[in-house]
Amino acid sequence: MNYQQRPFEPMEFELAVECCRWAFAGGDKEVIHQLVPQIDANRFLIVARRHRVQGLIWHCLHALDVSLPAQLSKSLRNDALQIVEHGLRAANEMANLLQTFHGAGIPVIFIKGLTLGKLAYSNPFLKMGWDIDLLVPAGMISAAAAELERMNYRLTAPAVQTRSTEFERWHRKRKESVWYKSERRIHLELHSGLADNARLIPGIGINSPQQQVEITSGIVLPTLALEELFAYLCVHGASSAWFRLKWITDLAALLHGRDAKQIEHLYQRSQHFGAGRAASQALLLSSCLYGTQITSSLRHDLETDPANRWLARISLAEMAGRAAVTEPADEIVGTAMNHLSQFFLLPSWRFKTSELFRQLSAMGT
């Protein structure tokens, strides 16, 4: 699949892209009105849920007063309402987490989630969020775990005791552990790092420049500053070969309104941080899907590297090909290209060797 191909197949994926584009950039509503009669309603709902963009799609279709089959309209509306309800619960919980951790003297940064939703879409409750991502200093991971337990969170992965050498060993090898708070129905990922492979964006972390984001009245949360956030989002998306449309949509929305020179500056800064080809892959995808502005000189540099073009093709195939309606993990060797693509995010053989050991280690746990 050519990463520059438009329109995309299946048609349901093409409509999802156009609805997501409208949600942050507006656009030609006639294109959306023309696409709707061509889709299969059941398949479109599967695509929307598979890519976790129901809130963005409903925001678009409802605002444009697009006529939909009754069951599809009801399902999208209900999904969007659930996204808002979850977001409101998460917002209150994030405020509690910030207060608790600051009271314990533990620095925190919230990554992705509602802070990114506010920055990208102005409305943080359009973007679906499965969990809260909380970054703390690696050296304070045990103290952070103790605070989470006091807040009635339960460790779900790894299956070890929090007050154990196994838990600390896990965080030396992995960037996060997974927690759940049943009374709030909140999942949380406790991060001691931001990249699966420590050779990617090694300088971005708890001490990086921050920005304060008011996600709703009275709730102001810290997240990474723009340059660091861009590099992190590129690496995060690349770590899963961008198989969800949501991830590249969030990035494109964050970049929307910035001119090509500003985006080139963000790219150059990402290389300084160690994002490597993850940023190249992200910009090629965002340009293809959403028309993100790239200077001609930067585009030439990105497309000159065959690995960049291959990474973009792989990701587009993961998003819009057979995987448009299925989770990669649900298919036989469905995640194979995802794992393979990780080896090409940095060009050095030292990185490839470290990635091989990382993946082998992950398979053994």
Q: What is the rounded distance in angstroms from the CA atom of residue 305 to the CA atom of residue 292? A: 19
pLDDT tens per residue across span 271-307: 999 999 999 999 999 999 999 999 999 999 999 999 9
Would you state the pLDDT for residue 187? 96
Contact 201, 273 (CB under 8 A): yes
Return the residue matching tokens 């775990």: 145
pLDDT tens per residue across span 220-262: 999 999 999 999 999 999 999 999 999 999 999 999 999 999 9
Cα–Cα separations (whole angstroms), residue 34 to 6, 47, 245: 16, 18, 21
Q: Count Cα neighbours of 175 within 13 Å in the Cβ-side half-sphere.
A: 19
Give the mean pLDDT of 114-127.
96
CATH assignment of 84-226?
3.30.460.40
Could you tell me the pTM of the whole model? Answer: 0.94
pLDDT band at 184 (very low <50, low <70, confident <90, very high): confident
